[in-house]
Amino acid sequence: MTERFEVALNMPAGRLTTVIDVPTGFIPINAIVPVTRRLGEEAAELEVQHAIEAGLAISCRKGCAACCRMLVPLSVPEAFALRECVEQLPADRRTLLLNRLSETKDRLKHEGLWERLTDVAEASSPVPDEELDPINRAYYALRIPCPYLDNELCSIYEIRPAACRELLVTSPAELCQDLVQNPVIPLPVSMRVSSVMALVWGTLTSSPPRLIPLPMALEWAERHEEEARMTWPGSSLLDQVLDKMWRFLSQEFTNRGWTVGKEPEKEKL
């Protein structure tokens, strides 16, 4: 059984109003991932429309995978959701994917990056940006295709990480061939969904907000399988998500020099 809620969020690019179905019973954290990503996508669509009205155009198109050489961070709930999805793949696809992940791991070990990524994934406190930036740059310099990429198309597109969904640019597509050297213009992101879910997980488990590098997400989720089985009331998880989203939105309003709007509204239908 599910409960249906109408949720309203005031965003910098407009007001987001949508209907969400949440299980009435106790659910694992990964069950709230699709709902959270959908809220993020609807927020991004408001930014897209705002950009179009300003005369801009989104350059990203199907088959453009230049950004799929970047190091993608996942929240704990996303890592658990990804592992569940991979386990349900047909055996041949799962074997192919696991082989690619193994090859990526070997390459990163050879380059001395795997241990550094493990330290990030298992850190006992949030890793500051000044420590993450050189790791991100070293990873991008290798130009390793995402292990989930198949013929320059995402093989897990429907469940791709929130960070992948949020990277949209209005600058010419050819500039994305070198995201470090070129003046790429990304679309503003009102709230980063991976960070939202990382904060939710941290609050629920009294642990630090944690972001896990995509190449090791399956291994990390397997090591923490017992935590993946923990459950909470569905409506409570939604409340946590909305609370953390509002934190990000409040900061974004402040950053843009605007008056902070109303807190999220949730009404049972």
Report the pLDDT averaged over residues 10-37.
Answer: 94
* 3-state SS assignment for residue 31: helix
pLDDT at position 260 over 80: no
Give yes or no for residue 251 having a pLDDT over 70.
Answer: yes
Query: What are the backbone dihedrals phi and psi of residue 200, each rounded to the nearest 5 degrees, phi first?
Result: -60, -50
Provide DSSP, 110-149: HTT-HHHHHHHHT-SSPPPHHHHHHHHHHHHHHTPPPTTE
> So what's the pLDDT on residue 261?
66
> Predicted confidence band at 234 (pLDDT cuts at 50, 70, 90)?
very high
Provide the percentage of residues in the chain whose pLDDT is more than 90.
Answer: 81
pLDDT of residue 17: 96
Q: How far is 247 from 252, CA to CA, in rounded Å?
A: 9
Mean pLDDT, range 45-54, rounded to an integer: 94
CA-nearest of 70, 17, 73 to 42 is 17
The residue to which tokens 């493990």 are assigned: 118
> What are the pLDDT digits (tens) for 90-139?
999 999 999 999 999 999 999 999 999 999 999 988 889 899 999 999 99
The answer to whether residue 142 scores a pLDDT higher than 90 is: yes
Ranges of H-type helices in 33-173:
33-53, 76-87, 91-110, 114-121, 129-142, 162-166
**Token code pair at residue 170:** 């209005």
Mean pLDDT of 43-64: 93
Indicate the helix (H) or strand (E) that contains 257.
none
Give tens-digit pLDDT for 189-229: 989 999 999 999 999 999 988 999 999 999 999 999 999 99
Model pTM score: 0.94
pLDDT per residue as tens digits for the range 154-180: 999 999 999 999 999 999 999 999 988
Q: What is the 3-state secondary structure (H, E, C) of 180-194?
A: CCCCCCECCCCCCHH
The rounded mean pLDDT for the chain is 93
- pLDDT, residue 259, reads 74
157 DSSP assignment? G
Summarize pLDDT for 144-155 with one digit per residue, the tens: 999 999 999 999
Predicted confidence at residue 91, as pLDDT, reads 96
